[in-house]
């Protein structure tokens, strides 16, 4: 099958590749670029494990072709940490609030939360729940993920984080 040349910026690095037009973006990221933090949980755009950030928007990379991302600026979980290598506020929140268990949904969830907090720096619990409703988690029941994102929002905003009573 004829291949197409694509270039994109991934986590700040210029990358390129020769790809079949049918190659899914998630496979380009995982197999060609070997950035395996982005996961595949359903291949029908329901679970959100493959969520990445493209040009400032959350996108499920399992139902987008690599050729459609030609020229795009992409952020994956591997690019979320702070420049000095420390955990970002969102990553730290997930650890502090036990917002993950098996870890499989976590990269997509964190990349989504990262974008959510740019869209809405002070989300309510309802905003957070709606904002991550494209990302499924089978382990946590979401409650601690909500807390993790609240923790991150407080840290970014420099406000005090108060854990809601159960």
Partner 1 sequence: MNDMAPTREQREAKLEGMGCKRKRVEDARFTQGKGNYVDDLKLPGMLHGDFVRSPYAHARVKSINTEAALKVPGVLAVITAETLKTVNLAWMPTLAGDVQMVLADGKVLFQNQEVAFVVATDRYAADDGINAVDVEYEALPVVIDPFHAMDADAPVLREDIAGKMTGAHGPRKHANHIFEWSVGDKDLTDVAFRKADVSIKEMLSYQRVHPCPLETCQCVASFDKVSGDLTIWGTFQAPHVIRTVVALIASLPEQKIHVISPDVGGGFGNKVGAYPGYICAAVASIVTGKPVKWVEDRIENLTSTSFARDYHMTTEIAATKEGKVTGLRVHVLADHGAFDACADPSKWPAGFFNIVTGSYDFPTAHVCVDGIYSNKAPGGVAYRCSFRVTEASYCIERGMDILAQKLGMDPAELRLKNFIRPEQFPYQSALGWEYDSGDYATAMKKMMESVQYAELRKEQAIKREAFKLGETREVMGIGVSFFTEIVGAGPSKNCDILGIAMFDSCEIRLHPTGAGIARVGTKSTGQGHETTWAQIIATEIGIPADRIMVEEGNTDTAPYGLGTYGSRSTPVAGAAIATAARKIKAKAQMIAAYRLEVHEDDLEWDIDGFRVKGLPEKTMSMKDICWAAYNSVPPGMEPGLEAVSYYDPPNMTYPFGAYICVMDIDVDTGVYKVRRFYALDDCGTRINPMIIEGQVHGGLTEAFAIAMGQEIRYDETGNVVTGSFMDFFMPTAVETPHWETDFTVTPSPHHPIGAKGVGESPNVGGVPAFSNAVNDAFAFLGSTHIQMPHDYWRNWQAAKTLGVV
Q: Which parts of this chain interact with partner 1 (CB under 8 A)?
A: 20, 22-23, 27, 30-31, 34-44, 46-47, 49, 76-78, 80-81, 87, 91, 94-96, 98, 100-107, 110, 128-130, 132-146, 166
Question: Which CB, 59 or 105, lies closer to partner 1?
Answer: 105
For residues 5 and 28, is the Cβ–Cβ distance under 8 A? no
| Three-class SS state of 90 | helix
Q: Tell me the closest approach of the beta carbon of residue 91 to partner 1, in angstroms.
A: 4
Pairwise CA distance, residues 107 & 97, whole Å: 16
Q: Tell me the closest approach of the beta carbon of residue 113 to partner 1, in angstroms.
A: 11
H or E, element range at 58: strand 57-60
For residues 94 and 110, is the Cβ–Cβ distance under 8 A? yes
Question: Which CB, 71 or 104, lies closer to partner 1?
Answer: 104
| Pairing status of strand 4-10 against strand 73-75 | parallel
Q: Tell me the closest approach of the beta carbon of residue 72 to partner 1, in angstroms.
A: 19
Q: Tell me the closest approach of the beta carbon of residue 80 to partner 1, in angstroms.
A: 7
């Amino acid at each position: 099958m004829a291949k197409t040349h694509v270039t994109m910026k991934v986590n700040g690095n210029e990358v390129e590749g020769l790809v079949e037009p049918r190659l899914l973006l998630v496979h380009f990221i995982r197999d060609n670029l070997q950035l395996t933090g982005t996961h595949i949980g359903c291949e029908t755009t329901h679970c959100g494990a493959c969520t990445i950030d493209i040009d400032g928007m959350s996108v499920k990379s399992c139902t987008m072709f690599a050729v459609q991302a030609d020229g795009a600026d992409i952020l994956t979980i591997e690019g979320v940490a702070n420049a000095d290598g420390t955990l970002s506020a969102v990553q730290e929140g997930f650890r502090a609030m036990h917002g993950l268990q098996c870890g499989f949904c976590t990269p997509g969830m964190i990349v989504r939360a990262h974008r959510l907090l740019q869209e809405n720096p002070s989300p309510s619990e309802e905003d957070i729940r709606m904002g991550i409703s494209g990302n499924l988690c089978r382990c946590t029941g979401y409650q601690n993920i909500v807390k993790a994102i609240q923790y991150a929002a407080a840290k970014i905003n420099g406000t005090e984080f108060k854990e809601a009573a159960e």
